[in-house]
């Protein structure tokens, strides 16, 4: 059997699914939205290809011939699984940026995250100065039980170096089947010695509500950056009740960096705040496959407290549905920056091999008929996903009644009041991280009292701990001078000392008391948060 014939066995079911899927499985069965990449999905069962007639297509015949020629004459040996995956995705991306093919492991991972769980070790990781570090260890999870700590540098996973990996690549290597072990080698700043942990993967909760607290007397803050999964509305309701018991009368809901999640969860979250009969979203597609469907709130007892939302470029898809619904209905005031602009729905096809196909089949619209999908015509996938968009710097009047809003040419949800936060200087951020890591290990001269021997889960903010004094600034300047590759000049330091002070202290608090406590500290100087709080304090409480 020729390689083209073997290769065709892999490709043919997908191609026939693309052609025959809607004929075989018309209609909506389940609408989903992946937390990774902000994509709305419509679930479907495994599709049985209707036949082999597609193989008679001249283009397909030519494809098979090309495969044989590549295999016989190309200068390199070919990994056909990788090549096929890339070819399929290039084909799909000519249609739109959100259709895609998922190999078995990626498809399983996507479905697990939608189910509010994944199989891993329960640790968060970031990349700083080209290296990967642990910055969160979830209490009671495998990483915590094994003894991993904040600031541990990951150097190997299963004897493979991670020096060329980013956060996403590392997560792919660490996650896997439940109860299967993964070997992770770390380097601790205090000793510089390497230590290997053999950790059995376990089910880890994927939380939508990352943390919540009273940010001011009577004003609650809820960070909803973890996407919209099966437990989002329940998590949010529990957080609201807990804050109301502490005296909350106004709410600030943070949707920044929320990539999306289950569409039906976006509906249920919207219902928490919208009166019955209020439209949340409408769905439109090809006339023969989708009739227009409008989804409305059915909650007879919605929350009536003053509500402010925070959005940014990372707010996408299901979180945009929620923000757009509350904005169009005049239920919330939105602060921040233009959202991502994702308004397409994909249907999920589970293929026989355990892989998956997502194919764009419809668009969604806000109650006032706005399509928030930004243009992807003549735009590369890289530019679509990663490039910064030009955003308007205008603000809207501080009023709450529904306003007739026109679609924005760049797509996305426009905040009612645009507020830009202080620009992050990557080199300074990474230098502050490394300096704090050294200080926490007791390695910075004259700052041995900053050594952290054990982290605490206490979320009460320290009053005087880790204050950045003139001595700390001098030691930081000396520290960065030892690393000319970071390109941190004296002029840059002088212009951004307040930023440096906050970053160093936040890193120390994160290591000592957790990310939630550090976030409470950082929010005190967050321009978007402060503007939203100012508006909330002037709103009348509805009894």
Pair 266, 286 in one domain = yes
Active site residue 317: yes
Pair 137, 256 in one domain = no
Q: What is the pLDDT of residue 406?
A: 45
Count how many domains the chain has.
4
Candidate list 254, 328, 416, 430, residue with the active-site label: 328
C-alpha 509, offset from chain centre: 23
Q: Determine the longest span between alpha carbons in the chain, in angstroms.
A: 77
Pair 200, 239 in one domain = no
Last residue of a domain, one of 205, 235, 254: 205
Q: What is the dihedral of CA 528, 529, 534, 540, to 10 degrees?
A: 120
pTM above 0.75, yes or no: yes
Last residue of a domain, one of 422, 442, 459: 422
Candidate list 317, 319, 414, 510, residue with the active-site label: 317
Q: What is the pLDDT of residue 9?
A: 47
Candidate list 342, 414, 416, 526, residue with the active-site label: 342
d(Cα 451, Cα 432) in Å, to the nearest integer? Answer: 16
Is 352 inside a domain boundary? Answer: no
Query: For the domain that residue 264 is a member of, what is the CATH number?
Result: 3.90.226.10
Is 140 inside a domain boundary? Answer: yes
Name every residue whose Cβ is closer than 8 Å to that of residue 390 and which is 6 or more positions away in sequence. 410
Pair 290, 397 in one domain = yes
Is 358 inside a domain boundary? Answer: no
d(Cα 481, Cα 489) in Å, to the nearest integer? Answer: 9
C-alpha 438, offset from chain centre: 29
Pair 219, 201 in one domain = no
Is 360 inside a domain boundary? Answer: no
Pair 287, 408 in one domain = yes
Pair 329, 472 in one domain = no
Q: What is the pLDDT of residue 16?
A: 44
d(Cα 238, Cα 77) in Å, to the nearest integer? Answer: 56
Pair 197, 233 in one domain = no
3-state secondary structure of 135: strand
d(Cα 101, Cα 349) in Å, to the nearest integer? Answer: 10
Active site residue 463: no
Pair 450, 312 in one domain = no
Pair 374, 403 in one domain = yes
Query: For the domain that residue 132 is a member of, what is the CATH number?
Result: 2.30.42.10
The residue segments making up the domain with residue 52 are: 3-103
pLDDT by residue, tens only, the chain of 543 residues = 444 444 444 445 444 443 333 333 322 222 223 233 455 544 333 344 444 555 567 777 777 788 788 888 888 887 777 788 888 888 888 888 888 888 877 787 777 666 657 789 999 999 999 999 999 999 999 999 999 999 999 999 998 999 899 988 898 899 888 899 999 999 999 888 899 999 999 998 889 999 999 999 999 999 999 999 889 999 999 999 999 999 999 999 999 999 987 888 999 999 999 999 999 999 887 755 555 688 999 999 999 999 999 999 999 999 999 999 999 999 999 999 999 999 988 777 888 778 888 888 888 899 999 998 988 887 777 677 765 444 333 333 333 344 444 444 468 999 999 999 988 999 999 999 999 999 999 999 999 999 998 777 666 666 678 999 999 999 999 999 999 999 999 999 999 999 999 999 999 999 999 899 999 999 999 999 999 999 999 999 977
Last residue of a domain, one of 153, 188, 205: 205
Residue for token digits 């009041």? 417
Pair 373, 231 in one domain = yes
Pair 234, 133 in one domain = no
d(Cα 82, Cα 105) in Å, to the nearest integer? Answer: 13
In the 8-state DSSP scheme, what is residue 400?
-
């Amino acid at each position: 059997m020729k390689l083209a014939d073997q290769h065709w066995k892999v490709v043919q079911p997908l191609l026939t699914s693309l052609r025959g899927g809607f004929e075989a499985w018309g209609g909506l069965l389940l609408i989903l939205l992946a937390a990774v990449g902000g994509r709305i999905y419509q679930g479907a069962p495994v599709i049985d290809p209707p036949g082999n007639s597609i193989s008679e297509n001249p283009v397909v015949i030519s494809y098979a011939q090309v495969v044989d020629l590549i295999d016989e004459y190309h200068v390199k040996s070919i990994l056909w699984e990788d090549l096929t995956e890339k070819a399929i995705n290039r084909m799909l991306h000519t249609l739109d940026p959100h259709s895609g093919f998922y190999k078995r492991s990626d498809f399983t991972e996507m479905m697990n995250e939608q189910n509010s769980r994944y199989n891993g070790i329960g640790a968060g990781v970031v990349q700083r100065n080209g290296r990967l570090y642990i910055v969160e260890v979830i209490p009671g999870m495998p990483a915590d039980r094994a003894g991993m700590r904040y600031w541990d540098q990951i150097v190997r996973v299963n004897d493979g170096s991670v020096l060329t990996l980013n956060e996403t690549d590392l997560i792919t290597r660490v996650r896997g089947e439940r109860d299967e072990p993964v070997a992770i080698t770390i380097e601790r700043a205090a000793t510089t010695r390497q230590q290997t942990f053999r950790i059995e993967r376990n089910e880890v909760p994927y939380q939508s509500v990352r943390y919540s607290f009273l940010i001011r007397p009577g004003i609650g803050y809820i960070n909803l950056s973890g996407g919209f999964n099966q437990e989002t509305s329940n998590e949010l309701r529990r957080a609201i009740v807990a804050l109301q018991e502490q005296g909350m009368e106004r709410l600030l809901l943070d949707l920044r960096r929320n990539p999306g999640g289950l569409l039906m969860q976006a509906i249920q979250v919207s219902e928490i705040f919208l009166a019955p009969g209020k439209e949340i979203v409408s769905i439109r597609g090809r006339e023969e496959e989708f009739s227009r469907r409008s989804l409305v709130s059915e909650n007879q007892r919605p929350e009536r407290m003053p509500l402010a939302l925070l959005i940014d470029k990372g707010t996408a898809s299901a979180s945009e549905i929620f923000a757009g619904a509350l904005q169009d209905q005049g239920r919330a005031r939105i602060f921040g920056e233009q959202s991502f602009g994702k308004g397409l729905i994909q249907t999920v096809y589970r293929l026989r091999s355990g892989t998956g196909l997502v194919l764009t089949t419809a668009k969604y619209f806000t109650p006032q008929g706005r399509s928030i999908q930004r243009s992807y015509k003549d735009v590369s996938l890289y530019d679509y996903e990663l490039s910064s968009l030009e955003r308007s710097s205008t603000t809207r009047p501080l009023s709450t009644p529904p306003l007739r809003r026109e679609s924005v040419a760049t797509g996305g949800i426009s905040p009612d009041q645009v507020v830009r936060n202080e620009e992050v200087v990557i080199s300074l951020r990474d230098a502050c991280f490394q300096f704090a890591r050294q200080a926490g290990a007791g390695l910075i001269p004259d700052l041995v009292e900053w050594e952290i021997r054990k982290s605490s889960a206490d979320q009460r903010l320290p009053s005087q701990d880790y204050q950045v004094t003139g001595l700390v600034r001098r030691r930081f300047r000396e520290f960065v001078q030892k690393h000319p590759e970071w390109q941190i000049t004296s002029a840059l330091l002088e212009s951004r000392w307040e930023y440096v002070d906050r970053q160093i202290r936040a890193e120390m608090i994160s290591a000592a008391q957790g990310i939630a406590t550090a976030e409470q500290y950082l929010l005190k100087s967050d321009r978007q948060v402060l503007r939203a709080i100012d508006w909330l304090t002037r709103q009348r409480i509805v009894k």
